[in-house]
Structures are given as structure tokens and as C-alpha cells.
Amino acid sequence: MDTTLNLNSSYSEKLPVLCLCSYGENVKHLQEFLSQLGHYKKDINGYFCVYTEKSVRDFQFQIGIPVNGIVERRTWQAINRLTTFLGLELSL
């Protein structure tokens, strides 16, 4: 099953903005992705807590986009590029 994100401009606008206190399957998938990269080392529970926020900030810093701890369009696009490049899977 191909679960690589396809974040063309219209699709990326429909992805949720994830930030502190967000929860659900999208957060769980984000945590799994960050875990695969070694940024997230806590339980994958679907709750965007301070540990998830720090992991997002670390990821944003590492790839050179504005660091704000919020997963919005630019961060989703960076995730897509990296999952494609590394051959990782991320389903949303």
C-alpha cells in the first residue's frame, strides 16, 4: 500500500493545522513519522503534547523552515519531500 503523501498545493491546504493540544489519528501519524526520524521518543498516543511540539520544532530547525512548533502547510510539504526522499510511509 502506497501511503506517501501527495502534497500538491490544493491538497496541502486541506491538511489540518496541528499544534499543542491537537489530538487524533493525524497526530498519531505525525508522531510515527517523527519517531522514524529519531525526533520523537515518547509513546505514540495521538495527543500533540509538549514533547510532540519539541519534536516538530527540532524537525523544522533541521530542515531549515521557520521554527514555530506548529504543523501547517510548509511543514506538511517538508514532511512530504522527506518521506518521498527517504522512502518512508505516512498515511493521513
**For the segment 47-64, what is each residue's pLDDT rounded down to a tens digit?**
999 999 999 999 999 999
Q: Model pTM?
A: 0.83
Q: Which of 49-58, 64-73, 82-91 has the lowest mean pLDDT?
A: 82-91
Classify residue 92: in a domain, yes or no.
no
Q: Residue 91 pLDDT > 80, yes or no?
A: no
Lowest-confidence region among 8-22, 24-38, 46-60: 8-22
**pLDDT for residue 11:** 52
User: Using CA atoms, how far apart are residues 3 and 68, in angstroms rounded to an integer?
Assistant: 26
Residue 65 is part of a domain; what is its CATH number? 1.10.101.10
* Model confidence band, residue 21 (pLDDT cutoffs 50, 70, 90): very high
Domain of 22 in residue numbering reads as: 9-86
Kindly state whether residue 40 falls inside one of the protein's structural domains: yes
In a domain, 2, yes or no: no
